[in-house]
Structure 1
Amino acid sequence: MKFSAKIVLRQPARKDGTCLIRLQVILDRKVVPIGLDVFWHPALFDEAQGVCLTELPVAQRKADYKKVLAVVTAWAGGSKAALEKQASDINLVIGRAKANEIFISYRLDESGLNAETFLLAYNTEASRNDFLDYMEKKIEYRFRKGKGHRHGISENTRKNHTSTLNALRAFRPRLPFFLLSPKLIDDYHEFLRRRIKSINTIWGRHKDVKTYLEFARKEKIKFEDPYEDFDNKSAPGQWKPLRTAEFRALEEHYRTLKPGTSRRRVLQKFLFSCNSSLRLGDLKAIQHARFDGAEMVFKIQKTYEDKMRDMMLPLTRKAIRYLEDSRIENGVEGFYNYTDQASNRILKKIGAELGITTRMHHHVGRETFGTEFIRRGGKVEVLQKLMDHSKITTTMKYVHVDDDMKRDAIRMLDEQDENYPMMMVS
């Protein structure tokens, strides 16, 4: 594809002697004129360079030069300084760099460029904003603000978002806003699928990108929404809940452990999660929560910046006992925090010794709470509120109908049939 851009004046001149300045783009011999909404006198315009002048070289001055210069100076504001400022401001507007950047970006991306796509690119913030640069700066800005700020993020969130940024850069080293399109996101999705096995990790990458596109949209940066028709699906959680027998075995094992041991400390936090639904991030920050009897009021680490409200969570008697054990035995508010890796190693070792087949991990606590709640006859819509989910479809990912639940359901039907025998049909 052949393309070029030049600055030209639209003739004839207006009544005040000025002409509209246009960017004339040629794409495969097709002329695409773009009016720049700025005007200048043709007598002081360099057609070869496409710039406004404040004076002409002596060799180019005609007999009426002084008169023309006086007219242009009066039009610009009446002084030489005003004329120079006017010329400087307009030259910033009419520079061809913006068009050339669009040409370069499309050439590097090997995308098709036509009059329609060029105009879309030109009329966005394309020449001044690369989305990758924008996202990088926004991540650092949000991290500096800190978790307590409305749009602030924690160190862990910063790492996750930076990983998403690095994945985007591996896909495209430059990504101007005007290149964003549904096709590009489809290509990015396929790129992620080739590199990442986890569906939920891919879902998270797209979610992060959408977050920063939304920031850009709020800042009035114009671009095509590349996710308009994209269905970002996640898979059910990879962490399966404990079976009821496994849950009970862990509780019995906990009672045999000596206070102050690493096993007891790790199980205190884990079993509290199984009985309360708290995420790992909230467990680590539980010392900042307020307690009013059996009710816990806290800021949810994951969603507080979006919802900006505290969460009230009623606690079971068992959950409260684990929390009280930790306070008394460890002398801390909340739980004794080992590193995630150390805690998970201890949980896996306990699980192996007790013959627990479910993969032990701190995420299993929240899964177990949701599933146990349903096993005992709890309502999904109530569980949604306890787990603070905006959508009930999210809650359903924590509800696992296992073989034991199916057996219990059939057993219940049998018991009902015994109490209410079927009428014999003659």
Structure 2
Amino acid sequence: MELSAVTFSAIILIIFLISKVPVFVSLLAGTMTYFVISPHVPSIIAAQRILSGVQSIPLLAIPFFVSAGIFMNYSGVSKRIMNFAQSLTGHMSGGLAQVNVLLSALMGGLSGSNLADAAMQAQMLVPEMEKKGLSKEFSSVVTATSAMITPLIPPGIAMILYGSIANVSIGKLFVAGIGAGLLLTIVLMILISYLSKKKGYKPVRDSMVSGKELLQSIKIAFLPLLLPVIIIGGVRFGIFTPTEGGAVAIVYALFLGFLYKEMKFKDIITGIKETITSTASIMVIVGAASAFAWILTRERIPQEITQLIVSSISNKYIFLFIVNIFLIIVGMFIEGNAAMIVLVPLLKPIASAYGINDIHFAMIFIVNLSIGALSPPLGTLMFVTCGITKCEIEDFIKESIPFYIALVVVLLLITLFPIFSVGIVNLVY
């Protein structure tokens, strides 16, 4: 009876997700189905598991970093960093497309959310890219793809969630994200340079920025760019925890807002409202997914899957190859944070059984779900970007084919060569 209960709850969950029902409703429906059908489990446990799922100290970092990212946008930081990125890459083929990628890498330490980054750049940069002669679909694909860098550059929300679920050092995940994020940034910039030359897209400027102009742009963007350094340095040297680092980020964002005299009191109120809305949606998903993960653990599904896979697959690289395909497919249909909360308890024990480094597997996991978020039929990054830029989904998919190839290359490099994920961690720690 209990086996049929968990099977039936999983079917309800999948049907709801495919039907485009909101993620938190789908998870709650699947979870409550189990508790209603299963006769040996009191329904009150559902409420207990949902509440306990969000009562985690590391998860406090999420509203802090969400709030810091929102305040950064109101403080004029985004504009200063964009000017700095343009001074560095404006002379390269593709012009503003290169700025788009570098801005995502620089803003990753500020916004922490790939959807927030995609939405911001779709509004701010895509119209300017079109004015410079870049096509709408190319501009949209570059924006959505570059937003994948954001979860990797610290302090990404995905790393905080993964660390709290898998009991892995969030500080080490922050550092590991630098290597993976830089690799993705470099590959995308090389690809954009090649495609821009092929399409005839001109640079923003004719020559490299002069030393004087570069120093001036660095001076303007220096304080905002200092935030990731402060967060990682503070966590590494034990000055504060990742959670406390989120509070430090808020104070720093407010400080910059008042220093630049661009943040008004009404912006603070608006920012608080946006933080509450964003955090509430994330936490409801976390709570519901946590309860569903408890059901899977109670039914010993992770243990049985681990035993089955380990007994049938002897090579860890074959296992990672299968995981890569599986996670990309999952990411096409399910929101990344929800997928992470449900699947990490299933897959991490298997990875540990193969002797795969925890940090290495975490980076593989996050990159996979990011690629899924870009992919049809339900890729959230694709829909958010196209919804703002008014790009046709069909045109977006056609234009994105070279980018998918590049993303697969990056994924294979991270999978086969752990140095891209744990190399900097070993140096710092």
Tell me which interval the TM-score lies in, with the shorter structure as reference length.
Answer: under 0.3
Q: Which has the larger radius of gyration?
A: 1
More helix, by proportion: 2
Q: Which structure would you say has the larger RCO, counting Cα contacts within 8 Å and 6 or more residues apart?
A: 2
More strand, by proportion: 1
